[in-house]
Each structure stands twice: as structure tokens, then as C-alpha cells.
């Protein structure tokens, strides 16, 4: 079903909206490529009109609450023919619906240049809404984005109130609203949060979550010894990850952990088709950090490690560890706790990713090298953290380098805790087992019963409020 849906989206974005319509000439930019991990596709929240909400409830129970709360009726695009008819009806004004523009491979300031012919009029007339789907990313708001988006919408005669921007970044809305107030902007884009990486991880990692959980808990309860003390998984050499890895070498912790690293030879392709060494660029950023002075001398030793990888062979293209897969269970079973070098380490409470969930799903305590208030965000999803066993004061430190040093101090202190003490502490073991159950059973249920309907309602409200 998702494949059929994506085929429709691809046809729309490829320039053919409806049978018989002329192909629209595109700017000479990278093509818009719909992907299966689009939030709106995966969560089934991009829907076209269905006149019978009762039928929708029978076919799609998790969204019944959202459907009943909405005067704008939605349903899945069940077949290609049905979707084409629905798109045509939206453009003709018989129904209300949304056009999804994903951000994949497209710069934020360019996204509205891909608005297909016909939809601008539907948006102006209130027959349609526009979803800007950036749910795979957690970029902070930039003033330049606000200026460009509002200028482009104004040029097309489209009210910003017809537009939804979906992001993982929990600080985006506050920053955008402050910019609007400073600029005197009244009609605003609706900012909707959706933690896509958490949703995908907890829903797609296990074919039989209950059976996998039972096996995991049984293994944890019966474990009598470990091979290494900790896990620390990273791939791209981001600056604060380099700081962490070089310190692990400097302080002689590396060999006592399962530490992965993608190496400094990674290359990324630029928009002009040329490539640049990812490692050299990020190493330069690392050297500009104040804390680099303590471990910069160990850069050569880190480079000498090359690529250190774990995980199944199928994950080789992602350095041995697929971003969404829980396929490194074996190394968690052979160790006691985890250091999590998250994707971001900003001074704002932006997001967490699946990297923070992996240790929790594997009965591990975790120390996060992450954004400000990352532990608080974990708690908001129903997880328990690890105070008093781990000093979690680092979570309240806004400045990233100071937070890094506090988290590293917490690691060095907890490192002294033996595996035997962890096993014998019944209260800590209960927390670890609870988190594993919540990651595998509770969080998927939270998405199905609460977070996905909430996303659907918020998107639907854009049309209802028009």
C-alpha cells in the first residue's frame, strides 16, 4: 500500500498531476525524490477525503479519534485510481486535501519552487493545504527560512495559514514565533512536531516485539558476566564525537568498550556533484572547540583505528549499523552500559533520535552526549532515566562544551560501578527492564493511540481553520 502511495506522490512530483495535464518544466535543481521514510507516508496521515468516517474507523482504528474530531474527512490512498480521482476532485474544489512536499534532497529555501501547477489556486481558494515535510531532520529555525518562505508564499498569493511544516525540532516553533513577533507577521505557518526516528525505530525493529522482549529480559536476568564495560556507537566524525572518542583513547577506556567509528575517510557529495572529505571538515570544527586542547594530540591515534564497525552484514552501507535497526543486540548483551554520542549537541532542547532508544531497548543505562534537556525529552515519552545511579546534572547545562564535560565526568564516575553491583541492585534492574518494555511495547502503542492521531488532528486543523 505504501509503495502504491509513493508511486502517486512520485507521479505528482515528477510533473504529472492528472491524466491529460501538460508536464511542468522544472528548475535545474536536484529532483524531488519521495522516500518510504516520509513521516506522512509511514504514519498514514496524508489522507484524501472519505465521506464516511465510520468506514475509516473500521479500516484504520488508530486514527478513529482524529477522524471523528475533524470536519475534514481523511482516508488512506488505497489505490492509484482512487488517488488520482481524489487529487482531481481536490483541484476542482469538490473535496479538501493536502499536497505533501518532502524536503529530501531539496534545500529549505527552494521547496516552494516545486509547487505543482494547479495547487497554488487550490491553496488560495482554501480547497487544499500544503505540508512541508522535514520530519526526518531536526534543523533549528533560521531567520532566512522565515523570510524566504513568507516572501515566496506572498508572491503566489497563498496565506501562510494554509501551510504545515513538520519537524523533529521541538524548539523550532518557539524560534519561529519569536521571529514572527519581531517582524510583525500575523498569518503564520503551522509548526508540527513529529519525532520520526523514534517512531520508525520502535515500530520496525522487531517482527514479534513481545517475544523479542521476553528473550531480552530473560537474557538480562540470567547474565552473570560481561566481556566489556560499555557500548559507544558512532559513524560520522562530528566534532563532539571526535572529542569523545579521542578522550576514550587518551584516558585508556577505548579497549574496554565496544566502540564503533566510521573513520575520517568518509566522503560526502556536494550539490555541484563534487565530493569533500567529511572527516577533514569535521576535524577542523573539532580543533576550534575549547575542549579540543585536552585530546587533540590523539587525533592521529583515532585516525589509525580506521573503520571500526559492528552489526549485521546487511548494514555495511551504513558502516555496519543501520540507523533504524536494532541489529547490534549482541554487543549490548556482552556489556553493561552505553555512551550515546547523539546526532546533535546544541544549547537548545531540540530533539533526540533512535540512538538514545537503542540502549534503553537493550536493558542498558545510558549517558547522553546530546542536546540540552535530552533526558527530559526522553522522560516526556515515558522512559525512566538513571539518577541516582548516574549523575544526570549534565542535562541541565545549556552550553554544549560544558555539558559534554559534565557528561564525561558522569561516565568516569559510573565506570567505577561494577557489573555485579548493577545485577544486585533490584531497583536499577527494574528500571532497565521497564525501559526495554516501554521501547518495544509501550512506545509503539503511544504512537498509535496518541501521537499519530495528534499529528493527524493538527494537520487537519489547517483546513478546518480556513
- CA atoms in the 13 A half-sphere facing the CB of 39: 29
Question: Residue 12 above 50 pLDDT?
Answer: no
Q: Please check the confidence at residue 268 and state whether its pLDDT lies above 70.
A: no
Provide the 8-state DSSP code for 24. Answer: P
Max Cα distance, the chain (Å): 71
pLDDT at position 239 is: 95
The per-residue pLDDT of the chain, averaged, comes to: 78
What tens digit of pLDDT does each residue of 50-88 get? Answer: 333 444 444 443 333 333 333 222 223 333 333 445 566
Q: Residue 425's closest CA among 392, 381, 390?
A: 390
Tens digits of residue pLDDT in 351-379: 999 999 999 999 999 999 999 999 999 99
How many angstroms separate the CA atoms of 283 and 274, rounded?
Answer: 20
Check: CB of residue 363 under 8 Å from CB of residue 383.
Answer: no
Q: What angle do CA 218, 225, 415 make, to 5 degrees?
A: 110
| Residue 83 Cα distances to 91, 189, 305, angstroms | 12, 26, 52
- List, for residues 177-200, the tens digit of each pLDDT value: 999 999 999 999 999 998 988 988
Chain centroid to Cα 304, Å, comes to 31
Residue 252 C-alpha cell reads as: 585508556
DSSP-assigned letters across all residues of 175-197: HHHHHHHHHT--S-PEEEE--HH
Determine the Cα angle at 72 with ends 13 and 135, to 5°: 45
**Choice between 312 and 137, residue whose per-residue pLDDT is larger:** 137
From the number of C-beta atoms within 10 Å of its C-beta (0-12, 13-18, 19+), residue 425 rates as: middle
Highest mean pLDDT among 7-16, 60-69, 273-282, 344-353: 344-353
User: Which residues on neighbouring strands pair with residue 368, listed in sequence order?
Assistant: 340
**Better-scored residue on pLDDT, 104 or 299:** 299
The residues near 101 (Cβ < 8 Å, ≥ 6 apart) are 13, 32, 111, 112, 114, 115, 130, 131, 132, 133
Domain residue ranges of the chain, discontinuous segments joined by +: 2-194, 204-441
Smallest CA-to-CA distance from 134 within 99, 109, 165 is with 165
pLDDT score recorded for residue 171:
96
Predicted pLDDT of residue 179: 98
Tens-digit pLDDT profile for residues 80-99: 333 445 566 667 776 676 77
Amino acid at each position: 500500500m505504501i509503495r502504491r502511495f509513493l508511486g502517486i506522490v512520485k507521479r505528482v512530483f515528477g510533473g504529472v498531476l492528472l491524466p491529460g495535464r501538460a508536464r511542468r518544466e522544472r528548475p535545474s535543481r536536484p529532483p524531488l525524490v519521495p522516500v518510504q521514510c516520509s513521516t506522512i507516508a509511514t504514519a498514514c496521515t496524508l489522507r484524501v477525503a472519505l465521506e464516511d468516517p465510520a468506514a475509516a474507523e473500521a479500516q484504520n482504528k488508530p486514527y478513529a479519534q482524529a477522524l471523528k474530531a475533524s470536519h475534514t474527512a481523511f482516508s488512506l490512498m488505497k489505490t492509484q485510481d482512487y488517488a488520482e480521482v481524489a487529487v482531481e476532485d481536490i483541484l476542482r474544489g469538490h473535496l479538501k486535501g493536502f499536497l505533501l512536499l518532502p524536503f529530501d534532497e531539496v534545500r529549505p529555501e527552494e521547496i516552494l519552487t516545486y509547487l505543482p501547477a494547479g495547487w497554488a489556486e487550490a491553496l488560495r481558494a482554501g480547497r487544499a493545504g500544503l505540508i512541508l515535510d522535514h520530519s526526518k531532520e531536526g534543523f533549528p529555525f533560521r531567520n532566512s527560512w522565515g523570510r524566504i518562505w513568507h516572501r515566496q508564499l506572498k508572491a503566489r498569493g497563498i496565506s501562510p495559514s494554509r501551510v504545515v511544516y513538520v519537524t523533529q525540532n521541538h524548539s523550532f516553533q518557539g524560534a519561529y514565533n519569536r521571529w514572527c513577533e519581531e517582524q510583525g507577521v500575523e498569518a503564520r505557518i503551522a509548526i508540527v512536531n513529529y519525532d520520526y526516528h523514534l517512531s520508525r525505530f520502535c515500530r520496525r525493529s522487531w517482527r514479534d516485539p513481545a517475544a523479542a522482549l521476553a528473550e531480552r529480559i530473560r537474557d538480562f536476568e540470567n547474565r552473570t558476566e560481561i566481556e566489556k564495560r560499555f557500548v559507544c556507537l558512532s559513524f560520522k566524525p562530528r566534532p563532539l564525537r571526535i572529542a569523545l572518542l579521542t578522550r576514550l583513547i587518551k584516558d585508556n577506556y577505548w579497549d574496554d568498550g565496544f566502540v564503533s567509528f566510521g573513520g575520517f575517510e568518509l566522503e560526502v557529495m556536494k550539490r555541484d556533484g563534487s565530493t569533500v572529505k567529511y572527516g577533514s571538515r569535521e576535524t577542523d570544527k573539532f580543533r576550534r572547540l575549547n575542549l579540543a586542547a585536552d585530546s587533540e594530540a590523539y587525533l592521529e591515534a583515532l585516525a589509525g583505528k580506521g573503520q571500526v564497525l559492528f552489526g549485521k552484514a546487511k548494514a555495511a552501507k551504513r558502516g555496519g549499523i543501520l540507523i533504524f535497526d536494532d541489529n547490534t543486540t549482541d554487543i549490548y548483551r556482552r556489556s553493561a552500559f552505553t555512551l550515546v554520542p547523539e546526532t546533535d549537541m546544541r544549547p537548545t532542547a531540540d530533539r533526540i533520535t533512535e540512538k538514545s532508544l537503542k540502549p534503553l531497548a537493550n536493558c542498558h543505562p545510558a549517558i547522553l552526549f546530546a542536546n540540552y534537556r535530552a533526558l527530559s525529552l526522553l522522560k516526556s515519552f515515558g522512559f525512566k532515566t538513571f539518577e541516582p545511579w548516574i549523575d544526570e546534572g549534565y542535562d541541565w547545562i545549556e552550553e554544549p562544551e560544558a555539558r559534554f564535560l559534565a557528561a564525561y565526568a558522569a561516565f568516569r564516575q559510573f565506570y567505577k560501578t561494577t557489573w555485579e553491583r548493577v545485577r544486585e541492585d533490584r531497583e536499577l534492574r527494574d528500571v532497565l527492564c521497564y525501559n526495554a518494555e516501554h521501547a518495544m511495547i509501550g512506545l509503539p502503542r503511544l504512537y498509535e493511540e496518541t501521537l499519530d492521531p495528534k499529528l493527524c488532528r493538527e494537520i487537519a486543523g489547517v483546513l478546518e481553520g480556513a
